[in-house]
Amino acid sequence: MPSTQLQTERLVLRQWNDDDLWDLADLNADPEVMAHFPAPMTAEQSAEMLGIQQSLLDAGRPAYFAVDIWSTSTFIGFIGLNVPRFDAAFTPCVEIGWRLKRDAWGNGYATEGADAVLKYAFIGLDLPEVVAFTATGNTRSRAVMERLSMSHDPAENFEHPALPVGDPLAPHVLHRKARSR
């Protein structure tokens, strides 16, 4: 299967390579980037993540792309698709997600890359719907969902089943976007 690469005005969303490990490990170890997750990730967890994502891309399955600013080939993070492994009212589903280096925030890169990923999901992978979810307090991520015109019904807010009851990160919002005809 030919490897998929997405190009936007400023970004290239590409396959992973072994040299990305140090940048990915730095990203996943940054406490500010990981503030809405239970914990930053270890270098071993990042290495495992990189291998899994590249295998999924190789198989043409939903996965996260490595993201570079194409004019400088600077790695800024990842944007892509994921199949959640927990059970909830809205699963099975495919979610869109993003995680960028702190110094890349505030430039519109997440929304620009995610817009390309949504087109890939609907046209390339022929998915009928893509969801996005995040901890209620993750206002930056919620703003990306809104800029992508993903709909939000407060009745679908949920407690993340992988987190303990009462954990401040457990309350989540769910956004949806359906393929247009």
One residue of 5, 74, 107, 157 binding ligand COA per CB under 6 A: 107
Q: Does 143 bind ligand COA (CB under 6 A)?
A: yes
Contact 96, 130 (CB under 8 A): yes
Q: Does 78 bind ligand COA (CB under 6 A)?
A: no
Q: DSSP letter string over 120-176?
A: IIIIIS--SEEEEEEETT-HHHHHHHHHTT-EE-GGG-EE-TTS-TT-TT-EEEEEE
Closest contact distance (angstroms) between CB of 99 and ligand COA is 4
Closest contact distance (angstroms) between CB of 146 and ligand COA is 10
Quote the Cα angle for 96-87-92, to 5°: 50
Closest contact distance (angstroms) between CB of 82 and ligand COA is 10
What is the C-alpha to C-alpha distance for residues 69 and 79, in angstroms, rounded to an integer?
13
Question: Using CB atoms, what's the residue nearest to ligand COA?
Answer: 108
Q: Does 157 bind ligand COA (CB under 6 A)?
A: no
Residues that bind ligand COA (CB under 6 A): 33, 36, 97-100, 105-111, 134, 138, 140-141, 143-144, 147
